[in-house]
Structure 1
């Protein structure tokens, strides 16, 4: 026990010699989490609260264009622009403005769209009724020429994200489908000679309702803070790999490790001292991140991090995530021969583990091959455990698989480091 405590004290003395590096180790993750959360929350608000100006060229001036305008206005997400610098919009003007990046979207409604849709629906209804042998009982209308297909054109800024494009396309398609359905009902009613109230029920029969988890009859709605605090806490914890591996390489280069070996101190005790010291740093990082989410974020206009009844489980996840990060750092420091090897490799590997682990891009949005690869990232295990606690209201049972994986990763990396060190010294 005495040797272990002396090993911890030695690590503390090494850290005290570089107070600037220690401050950066705590300060930079805090700056990172505040910056990223503010950016992502602002982006979220820009989509959900702020209105995006879109150009609308209305060559129809009919029922469909009215429906499109009213639906866009009711959505609360768009601001319709119909003229630029006092001049009425044309398709050429709208396309040029969008392709130059001044607007994200332009919608061009073709001429006579509403009229031609009504004609097309009427023709289809007449054909259906005639096939049922009812043409003798219904007044015949003059046979009209076939109506050509119409196109609603949408111009998108080349820099616009695919998700935004698909969302707008689906919304416009839904609007037009509703208009077509109402036109079909109306055409049937007209052909059957019925007047007054509609004889068909025109309300949507199938609707959608989102069911979300509830605690004490309150819906659990995830926000940017609940996603970012766990993600960037893990990133900060795993970045401990860089200073840890550098310190181990320094000890080898300065001869400190040789002096330690000559003393009757097993290498496992030295590793235990490093593990305990850096685990304390990881937990301080975690608590600082949580404190920022709880106390600072509300003053920045961000949602508060709700941790009531969850802090113990979150601390448990952070503890085992710290162990996994420390194990990786010790392995890297044991294998690397120079700081030029350990520092860039450690930083790059942490970034890669974060990328494939879902810290930056959600795993479900990745290609299939990357979704499979993400399961080997310790950050993915830690992130899923944090989400189980924060978003899914999970218990210790739900996070046990991830905790076991993190512990197994720590044991595996430490074992490899000890075996490699023994083998290297034997040679």
Structure 2
């Protein structure tokens, strides 16, 4: 039995050796993919966080609020305020036209008398409160109440602007306006109740936010594009082994190789075992090559270094069981498919779908609820979560056991179905 197993492995090695070009593609293309994707994502991240986005500002207020908005936008370091186009002061009409044509991503229009009317409204409210509490002097006659209409700050977005950017900008502007209103209320109360220059109200924010991140050896674990892309696209490369593996099985059936193996006799289980060991070796080589790129090449490309210190062993375990799951799927597909035209397109498409719903391209939490539930059936999602447990959550073997068990169970189920299907097909 062992002799037949080793001969089966040797046969697979010979087949791969004969198709040297295909073997090179299995190793080179994933490396090109991971380098390209990581460079694109990292440059996109830098363009959002390090460069200043030009935005149009139409200041019809000319008051304290518009001054504060300008100051906060400048201090944020993310925006460059533009008030003129080709030397001509912009209006709401020209700003709207420029944004809707895609020349700028955002235009902010501050309405007239916003600062003046806000102060009037605050004065009315404060005077009413003071009067109701009997703090107003008797000689002070009630002032005639003016009707002050509400104001709106208009935001024009380029139709191609992403929703996340829109929500971030709207949240920041809303926060600015709220702070200005709060400050105006405190200042008005100060004028009504304060004595001298001593402040009556403490205007410093009482509630603040502090981000707490995990630490290892007193160093914060800060996620970056490399920590996602290396495991994610390593998984994608591992699962793409489904295509050549299924084609290999279909080709053996078409050429009669499988019939000759069975008449030796060699059980289908031995054939599967030989393919599993051979292609698992390829998967692990792919994984270590991609880790090596993240550790040694990425720093020379200006990308963050993949930190695998004390984590490589656990990452290798995850890659090993992910490879088993991918091989099981490839064996099942090759066993069921009758032609290469069936196995190749279906294999490639199914891997892309599993990657999409598994969180390789878009984080699972950003998906619709239905897709979040579907993501749990993707082996790539199990592998990716296990990699995250090791790289980002500083998890140990106990934390990744559930995902490893799922990957192993997937391999056992797919191989069992393949053996059963092959026996049933030969019995007919």
TM-score normalized by structure 1?
A: 0.98
| Counterpart for residue 42 of structure 1 | 43
Q: In structure 2, how many angstroms separate the alpha carbons of the residues matched to 1:46 and 1:289?
A: 25
Alignment of 1:169-208 (within 5 A): 169-192=170-193, 194-208=195-209
SS in 2 for 1:55: strand
Deviation digits for residues 302-361 of structure 1 (CA, Å, limit 9, x no counterpart): 000000000000000000000000000000000000000000000000001001100011
RMSD, matched Cα: 1.0
Deviation (angstroms), 1:143:
2.3
Aligned equivalents of 1:63, 1:366: Cα separation in 2: 41
For residues 53 and 338 of structure 2, what CA distance do their matches in structure 1 show? Answer: 54
Aligned ranges 1:139-150 → 2 under 5 Å:
139-140=140-141, 142-150=143-151
1:245-324 aligned at under 5 Å gives the runs 245-324=246-325
User: Once structures 1 and 2 are overlaid, which stretch shifts more, 61-70 or 407-416?
Assistant: 61-70
User: Deviations for 1:111-166, whole angstroms, at most 9, x for unmatched residues?
Assistant: 11111110011111112222223333584563241211011000000000000000
Q: Residues 260-319 of structure 1, C-alpha deviation per residue, up to 9 Å, x if partnerless?
A: 110121111110000000000000000010011001111111000000000000000000
SS of 1:106's equivalent in the other structure is strand
How many Å separate the matches in 1 of 2:210 and 2:39?
Answer: 30
Alignment of 1:73-92 (within 5 A): 73-92=74-93
Q: Superposition pairs for residues 7-18 of structure 1, below 5 Å?
A: 7-18=8-19
Q: Deviations over 1:371-410 (max 9, x none)?
A: 1111010000000000000000100000000000000000
Q: Name the SS for the 2:58 alignment partner.
A: strand
Name the counterpart of 2:65: 64
Give the Cα separation in 2 of the matches to 1:195 and 1:93.
Answer: 48
Q: 1:368 to 1:174 in 2, by over 3 A?
A: same
CA–CA distance in structure 2, aligned partners of residues 161 and 91 of structure 1 = 22
Aligned to 2:113: 112
Q: What is the aligned partner in structure 1 of residue 131 from structure 2?
A: 130
For 1:12 and 1:140, the matched residues in 2 are separated by: 99
How far apart, CA to CA, are the structure 2 residues paired with 1:338 and 1:91?
Answer: 63
Aligned partners of 2:190 and 2:142: how far apart in 1? Answer: 14
1:423 aligns with 2:424: yes
C-alpha change, 1:138 and 1:192, in structure 2 (3 Å) is farther
* Counterpart-to-counterpart distance in 1, 2:47 and 2:145: 48
SS at match of 2:136: coil
Supply the distance in 2 between the matched residues of 1:197 and 1:216 (Cα, whole angstroms): 47
CA distance in 2, matches of 1:426, 1:100: 67
Deviation readout 1:177-210 (Å, 9 max, x if unpaired): 1100010001111222534132100000000001
Give, in whole Å, the separation in 2 of the partners of 1:15 and 1:333: 17
Aligned to 2:116, the other structure's residue is in SS state: helix
Structure 1: how far apart are the matches of 2:18 and 2:103?
Answer: 54
Is residue 409 from structure 1 mapped to residue 410 from structure 2 by the alignment?
yes
Per-residue CA deviation, residues 189-246 of structure 1 (Å, 9 max, x unaligned), is 1222534132100000000001000011111000000011111000000000000000
Q: Report the Cα offset of residue 171 of structure 1.
A: 0.1
Contact 1:138–1:192 (Cα < 8 Å) also in 2: no
Question: Which runs of no fewer than 5 residues in structure 1 stay unpaired?
Answer: none
Whole-Å Cα distance in 2 between the matches of residues 189 and 254 of structure 1? Answer: 92
Taking the aligned partners of 1:193 and 1:352, their CA distance within structure 2 comes to 66
What is residue 27 of structure 1 aligned with on the other side? 28
Q: Which residue of 2 aligns with 1:362?
A: 363
> Is residue 390 of structure 2 the alignment partner of residue 396 of structure 1?
no
Q: Report the counterpart of residue 234 of structure 1 in structure 2.
A: 235
CA distance in 2 between counterparts of 1:263 and 1:130 reads 104
Unaligned runs of at least 5 residues, structure 2:
none
Q: Output the CA distance in 1 between the equivalents of 2:406 and 2:150.
A: 58
The 1:241/1:188 distance shift into structure 2, 3 A limit, reads same
SS of the residue aligned with 2:54?
Answer: strand
- 3-state SS in 2 of match to 1:56: strand
Question: Taking structure 1 as reference, are residues 6 and 193 closer, same or farther at Cα in structure 2, changes over 3 Å only?
Answer: closer
SS at match of 1:155: strand
Tell me the secondary structure at the aligned position of residue 221 of structure 1: coil
Q: Is residue 139–residue 191 contact of structure 1 (8 Å, CA) maintained in 2? A: no
Alignment check: 8 A CA contact 2:252 2:258 kept: yes
2: CA distance, partners of 1:139 / 1:232: 74
The answer to whether the Cα contact below 8 Å between 1:138 and 1:191 also exists between their aligned partners in 2 is: no
CA distance change for structure 1 residues 264 and 142 in 2, over 3 Å: closer, same or farther?
A: same
